């Protein structure tokens, strides 16, 4: 699907929120939505209602940890929406159980049964969300305890229409190093693209409800499942000169399970970048940098993940002897 709109530059901002700090394994005091922090910027940010939308298909192994992280936030989410898409496992049952286990948490379970696929499921969740800001994460995402707060801070600037941040791979070794590397890579991408383009990352992103309403009719359906849906969103935002902000403090954990793909499947995943660019007639060579990075890290990272999996499994086996 080629956009028929004029393509303008995608305005980006490389900084937002408070000065960077290391937050992995940090502890946070829960604060109610009505509690004043005594900080004017903090209090202004808290007025924005943040919805969290989580598309899910056969995610019984990860959905609980995803929801636990979304519940225990320094500033509570307005709503946490899980959209089940014809799951054949216990995904929906686990969500229902958590609704009973955490009755004061705003967990909402929706079902999108009309068609299989991430895009219609994502759209259904975003369409039904009622927040001012629509957060979007994956079912294997584990957001940091201040994620909602950092999202609110990112949108204190009224010119910001969407935001994204770095990720840490929680099932890989050297997680702190991995987070720093991911952050540096994303900031390098901004420089390579000369700040003309910046892309949202589906595992860790948010956009204003008004921005979603603007681009919703134009987003690609990708019925052949060939594209990166988050890149597609970014390019449609670019069509309207809607600003995306990169926020280093807006951190989410995610699984490196993509490395379990066969080389052939992994290659198809990475080349989704090219197919998305082609659909939007984007030809900037610098935007191929993520493909180079993904291809170059596949085999070394796959080996590291295998070693890490063995090492973490050994204590459990010894404990069972």
Dist. CA 86–CA 10, nearest whole Å: 35
- 40 confidence band (pLDDT: 50, 70, 90): low
Residue 226 belongs to domain with CATH number = 3.90.550.10
Instruction: Answer whether residue 73 is part of any domain.
Output: yes
Instruction: Answer whether residue 42 is part of any domain.
Output: yes
Q: How far out from the chain centre does Cα 210 lie?
A: 19
CA dihedral 16, 20, 21, 22 (to 10 degrees): 90
Structural domain including 249 reads 12-255
Instruction: Answer whether residue 263 is part of any domain.
Output: no
Instruction: Answer whether residue 83 is part of any domain.
Output: yes
| pLDDT for position 179 | 79
For the cut 70, the answer to whether the pLDDT of residue 174 exceeds it is: yes
pLDDT in tens, 187-205: 777 676 655 667 888 899 9
For the cut 70, the answer to whether the pLDDT of residue 30 exceeds it is: no
Residue bearing the bigger pLDDT, 280 or 124: 124
Instruction: Answer whether residue 199 is part of any domain.
Output: yes
Instruction: Answer whether residue 166 is part of any domain.
Output: yes
From the list 178, 182, 250, the residue with the least C-alpha distance to 21 is: 250
pLDDT in tens, 54-73: 999 999 999 999 999 999 99
Count of domains forming the chain: 1
The mean pLDDT value of the chain amounts to 83
pLDDT in tens, 282-320: 887 777 878 888 888 889 888 988 888 887 766 544 444
pTM over 0.85: no
Cβ–Cβ < 8 Å for 91, 59: yes
Dist. CA 277–CA 296, nearest whole Å: 20
What is the percent of the chain with per-residue pLDDT over 70, rounded to a whole number? 80
pLDDT in tens, 48-58: 999 999 999 99
């Amino acid at each position: 699907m080629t956009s028929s709109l004029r393509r303008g530059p995608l305005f980006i901002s490389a900084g937002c929120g408070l000065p960077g700090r290391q937050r992995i394994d940090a502890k946070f005091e829960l604060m109610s939505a009505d509690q004043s922090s005594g900080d004017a910027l903090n209090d202004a940010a808290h007025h924005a209602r943040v919805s969290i939308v989580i598309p899910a298909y056969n995610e019984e192994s990860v959905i609980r940890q995803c929801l636990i992280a979304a519940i225990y936030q320094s500033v509570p989410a307005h709503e946490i929406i899980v959209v089940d898409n014809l799951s054949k496992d216990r995904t929906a049952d686990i969500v229902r159980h958590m609704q009973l286990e955490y009755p004061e948490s705003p967990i909402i379970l929706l079902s999108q049964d009309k068609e299989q696929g991430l895009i219609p499921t994502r759209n259904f969740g975003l369409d039904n969300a009622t927040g001012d800001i629509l957060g979007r994460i994956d079912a294997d995402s584990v957001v940091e305890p201040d994620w909602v707060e950092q999202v609110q801070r990112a949108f204190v600037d009224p010119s910001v229409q969407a935001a994204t941040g770095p990720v840490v791979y929680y099932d890989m070794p050297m997680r702190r190093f991995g987070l720093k590397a991911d952050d540096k890579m994303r900031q390098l991408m901004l420089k390579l693209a000369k700040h003309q383009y910046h892309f949202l990352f589906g595992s860790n992103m948010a956009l204003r409800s008004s921005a979603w309403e603007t681009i919703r009719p134009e987003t690609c359906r990708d019925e052949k499942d060939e594209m990166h849906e988050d890149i597609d969103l970014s390019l449609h935002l670019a069509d309207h000169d809607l600003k995306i902000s990169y926020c280093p403090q807006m951190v989410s954990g995610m699984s490196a399970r993509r490395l379990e793909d066969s080389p052939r499947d992994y290659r198809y995943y990475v080349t989704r970048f090219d197919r998305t660019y082609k659909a939007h007639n984007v030809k900037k060579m610098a935007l191929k940098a993520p493909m180079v990075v993904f291809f170059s890290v596949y085999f070394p990272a796959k080996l590291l993940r295998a070693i890490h999996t063995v090492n973490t499994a050994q204590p459990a086996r010894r404990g069972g002897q």
